[in-house]
Structure 1
Amino acid sequence: MKRLGTLLQKGYTLGEALEFLRLQFSGKVKDAIGEAIRALEEGDSFYRVIRRFRFDPLCAVFAYYGETHGQLPESLITAGEMLERKYGQQAKFRHLLAYPVLLFAMTVGVFFILQTRILPQFVLLYENFRVKPNRLILFYLWLNGHYPQIFLAVCLLFSVLLPLFFKWGKNVSPFERQKWLAKLPGIGPFLMLWKTYYFSFHLSQLLKNGFSLHESLMVIRSDPEKKYLRETIDRIHRVLFSGKSLPDGVREIPFWLPELAAVIEHGQLAGRLDMELESFSLHCLERFYERVERLLKFVQPLMFSLIALWIVLLYVSILSPTFEMINRL
């Protein structure tokens, strides 16, 4: 995406840029670019071509808005940069989790051996010395004897909850789903930052390229990737038709940051709404990535702590009755 956007900025047409990129690839990628060129020649929009070949949804979104407001090169470069950042963070997340997951797998293996081989021997030893096992060992023994029942109970729970969840999802509007997700602890703040960025950035780009505020809102309302925006813009329009201002309408949307209304109000008063929205959207994006970074730094120590606690409990549960037996000798 980034290379394609750069070529378009240098004056290549979309067909020429794709043809040039096609020369640099082989195999399936080359064939896919060839099909994309043919689809464009037949009159398909670039957005539809992107959707057809199942690119990352982020590419489709920026292609749609780029074609709409006439800044396709800049939109593709932005999408490419965001994808690079996204994949970089995914790689960092996998790297951070690699060692804890390996340690967790080894601990599960040790736990299985303990449950099936070692623990029964200790229980027999405790019985011979008339030492009562502690509650943790009794819990492990209970787990060991009820694996099938626990597995069936979990499967039954999922078989009941999943259909109910999907049924609820079908009966609730996309707007209500986003409203519910924004209230969830943990992921809610992430979603609010991302959705605020999404709306404010694309609105700023449309305004910057000569669209009126009403036209910009209608373009966003027609966003094929985000169905919830249709009801969102309709709610804002109802507020506007009642005689209130755009900031008042934005305040009615529960999954956008409250600061967005203040930014719009200040931007309208200063006559720089497009610039202030763009600046605010980039600020939201930076805050989003900062939160992701903090989450990544928190996950690994948390996993290490939980695994360490589990191992310590295993040892304590076995050794405490053993010390009691030694004291009796």
Structure 2
Amino acid sequence: MRQIKNRWPVREQAELLEKLGKMMVRGYTLLDALKMLELQLNKKQRADISFGMRKLTEGYPVFQVMNLISFHKDAVSIIYFAEQHENLAFAFSQSGELLQRKIDQAEKIKKAAKYPLFLIMTVCIIAYILKAAIVPQFSAIYDSMNIETPFLTASILSLFDSFTFLFILMLLMFMAAAAYYLFRLRKQSPEARMLFFIRIPLLGRILKLFNSYFLSLQLSNLLKSGLSIYESLKAFESQPFLPFYQKEAKCFIKRLKQGEAIDEILKGRPFYEKDLSKAIAHGQLNGQLHRELYSYSQFLIGRLEKKAEQWTGIIQPLIYGFTAAMILILYLSMLLPMYQMMNQL
């Protein structure tokens, strides 16, 4: 079945999923809720929903229909697991909330960086104009007057001369990273790719938190529906949307068959928070593993949001500081040569 390529904005996906969850809790069937929500959508979205409803009536599972409409992979995977434990209403609300959290975090980062980045771009344009038009004039005046360029002025002029080199170097580094991903990293196994990203500062921390959050939340829902750990991992193994979790589930199942406990397996995996195995061990001891995993997942999502706020608080002052330094250099580059030439006269 051909997939619809034009994806909805993530915010609109989140709104639709949250509304579906609320309506199904109030007693609507999925098709009735979609028919009601269809009236509030634009032409393109109505066409997608009509297509989805046709596929549902033909017997397609909900997660597959969502995938055909190109909904976010995180939302599709949550609905896939929900169909294993038959709690679609909760899963729609849950997936909508997850997408909304991602949007909110991205908005906070954009808001924090928007004005400083504008200042940096403005300063860079001014610096380019100075380098192209004003700096050569100062150099020519020093040469014509046989005046030795002072050290500080020479340093500032050299800094402007290095701008082009730095820009080319950054462009080459970006191209090298893109080529490495396209021709090498993308062809490696999901575990190898995840291990590569885990080793990147900051990004690796986020990935560990999210991996632990997603695994604990979905295991909690599956266990709550009455499945065993083994059956829950088989559900992870059979889903086609997230190859990393699919491979992880295969690894877990293989080691479970060899007699290892799930908490011991997780201790040696570098992709998750270390306290995930402790949460599982504690849940197995008190016989409430699904409750412990759900509580732990909510703790992790709070930690993710806190980390995003902390990094926003660090990045914004750094950008402002860099911008201030650039403005000071521009100011000195224009005033110092004039003062020094006046002193030479």
Q: Deviations over 1:105-149 (max 9, x none)?
A: 2212211221122112211222234131512303423656x79xx
Offset at residue 184 of structure 1 (A): 1.4
Matching of residue 327 in structure 1 with residue 343 in structure 2: yes
Take 2:176 and 2:230, find their aligned partners in 1: how far apart are those partners? 45
Structure 2 partner of 1:226: 242
Of 292, 314, 326, the residue aligned with 2:330 is 314
2:84 partner amino acid: T
1:54 partner amino acid: S
Q: Deviations over 1:161-202 (max 9, x none)?
A: 533332222442101211221121111111100000000000
Matching of residue 135 in structure 1 with residue 155 in structure 2: yes
Of 39, 43, 66, the residue aligned with 1:27 is 43
Counterpart mapping for 1:36-55 below 5 A = 36-55=52-71
Structure 2 partner of 1:294: 310
Alignment CA distance shift 1:266-1:143 (3 Å) = closer
Indicate if the aligned counterparts of 1:51 and 1:60 stay in contact, CA closer than 8 A: yes
Counterpart mapping for 1:222-301 below 5 A = 222-301=238-317
Matching of residue 194 in structure 1 with residue 210 in structure 2: yes
Alignment CA distance shift 1:164-1:109 (3 Å) = closer
Offset at residue 302 of structure 1 (A): 1.3
Take 2:66 and 2:179, find their aligned partners in 1: how far apart are those partners? 32
Mean Cα displacement is larger for which, 30-39 or 193-202? 30-39
Offset at residue 24 of structure 1 (A): 2.8
Structure 1 partner of 2:11: none
Take 1:171 and 1:34, find their aligned partners in 2: how far apart are those partners? 37
Task: Tell me: higher relative CO, structure 1 or 2? Use CA pairs within 8 A at least 6 residues apart.
Answer: 2
Indicate if the aligned counterparts of 2:230 and 2:253 stay in contact, CA closer than 8 A: no
Take 1:260 and 1:159, find their aligned partners in 2: how far apart are those partners? 37
Of 73, 79, 83, the residue aligned with 1:57 is 73
Structure 1 partner of 2:128: 112
Aligned length: 325
Alignment CA distance shift 1:244-1:143 (3 Å) = closer
Give the fraction of aligned pairs with identical amino acids, expressed as a percent: 29
Indicate if the aligned counterparts of 2:191 and 2:247 stay in contact, CA closer than 8 A: yes
Matching of residue 172 in structure 1 with residue 192 in structure 2: no
Counterpart mapping for 1:72-91 below 5 A = 72-91=88-107
Aligned-residue Cα RMSD (Å) equals: 2.2
User: Which 5+ residue runs of structure 1 have no aligned equivalent?
Assistant: none
